[in-house]
Amino acid sequence: MNMEPEARRRYQDIYPSEAVLRSQDVVRQKASALINLEFFEAEPAEMPKLRFSQHHILINLRDGQRGIVNWRDGERFEHTLNLNDVVITPSGLESGWQWPTTSRVIIITIDPDALERFAEREMGRLLSKRQLRDVPIQSDPDLTQAAKLLMTALETRSEGSEIMYESLARVFTVKLLEGYGENAAEGASFSRSFTAGHYKRVLDYLSERYGEPIAIADLATIAGLSEAHFSREFRKTLGDSPHQFLLRYRVEQAIKLMGNPARTLGEIAHACGFSDQAHLTRLFRRFTGATPRQYRARL
């Protein structure tokens, strides 16, 4: 058994099997500073009852998995995990697992200090010492979809995935705090009117039309919200205005196209919705710190 003090013990240190996908293997440390994601298709096994320095969130992607046992602070729970079920374990709460069949889960771990900084600086919330509610099991399709979008961003393993991962990490964290955050004191509740479903519709629209002229009103229509409400909730959730997010998205697509040496920078600029190569260069430098030529030279 791992006897490392709980103040430093990480959930990853006792996994009984290797992850199929890990965010730390795909994106740089800056992009994964807020949350860490790992995807498992694990054979039957168990994890010992221990306390950890991180919050950990289990997102179940398999329907009707029976006989799952979870120990929480000395109490035994037996579950049938269904698709979209989540289990949230705050840091410091003793937890152990046993599963008799192959699992298919996303495990997200969050450092409490990082979560406190995000809640205070980005959402204007002061969290309680515990920060998150203890949730043995609950169906949450919206949080599940936000986690699946994060995993999809990692699965592409493409240049520039950090930009999309950072944005999606913000979406997931806001959703987590909306539903399960504990405030230090009473305060205004955070709006639930911009969901992961809204975000997915916007993202799907951008993925098909990012090379075309796009107005914020178009994105609001796709989300099914008024333009003013959409802009306000989008910024609150992602930290960027819809316009800034669109520019980031176009830069990310340009990065992907740079892997093809046959494409000129002028062609890439046009394909990604920039007015010309100079426009691409200016925004590319703003978001990456390098010009497109400098970036391409490194590939």
Please, are residues 81 and 104 in contact by the beta-carbon 8 Å criterion? no
Specify if 128 maps to a domain: yes
- The model's pLDDT over 123-133, given as tens digits with 9 standing for 90+, comes to 767 788 889 99
Tokens of 63: 């329907």
Specify if 230 maps to a domain: no
Alpha-carbon distance of 137 to 230, in angstroms, equals: 31
> Which residues are bridge partners to 45 per DSSP?
99
Specify if 75 maps to a domain: yes
Confidence of residue 167 (pLDDT cuts 50, 70, 90): confident
pTM over 0.75: no
pLDDT reported for residue 11:
81
The number of domains in the chain is 1
Specify if 299 maps to a domain: no
pLDDT reported for residue 1:
36
Closest by CA to 135, choosing from 89, 82, 173, is 89
Specify if 232 maps to a domain: no
pLDDT reported for residue 161:
61
- The model's pLDDT over 12-30, given as tens digits with 9 standing for 90+, comes to 778 878 888 878 777 665 5
* E strand segments, 103-231: 105-110, 127-132, 135-139, 181-183
pLDDT average, residue stretch 79-97: 94
Structural domain boundaries enclosing 125: 11-140
Specify if 256 maps to a domain: no
- The model's pLDDT over 239-293, given as tens digits with 9 standing for 90+, comes to 789 999 999 999 989 998 988 889 999 999 999 999 999 999 999 999 888 899 9
Please, are residues 194 and 237 in contact by the beta-carbon 8 Å criterion? yes
Specify if 168 maps to a domain: no
Dihedral over Cα of 199, 259, 267, 289: its sign: positive
Place of tokens 């340009």: 254
The CA-based angle 46-51-56, given to 5 degrees, is 75
Rounded to 10 degrees, the C-alpha dihedral 80/86/92/97 comes to 30
Please, are residues 45 and 104 in contact by the beta-carbon 8 Å criterion? no
pLDDT reported for residue 185:
54
pLDDT reported for residue 190:
37
Specify if 192 maps to a domain: no
Q: Kindly report the CATH number assigned to the domain that includes residue 51.
A: 2.60.120.10
- The model's pLDDT over 182-205, given as tens digits with 9 standing for 90+, comes to 887 543 333 457 777 788 888 889
pLDDT at 55 over 80: yes
What's the chain's Rg over C-alpha atoms? Answer: 21
pLDDT at 159 over 60: no
pLDDT reported for residue 40:
92
3-class SS of residue 51: coil
pLDDT reported for residue 3:
40
pLDDT reported for residue 8:
67
pLDDT at 39 over 80: yes
pLDDT reported for residue 158:
57
Q: What is the mean pLDDT of the chain?
A: 86
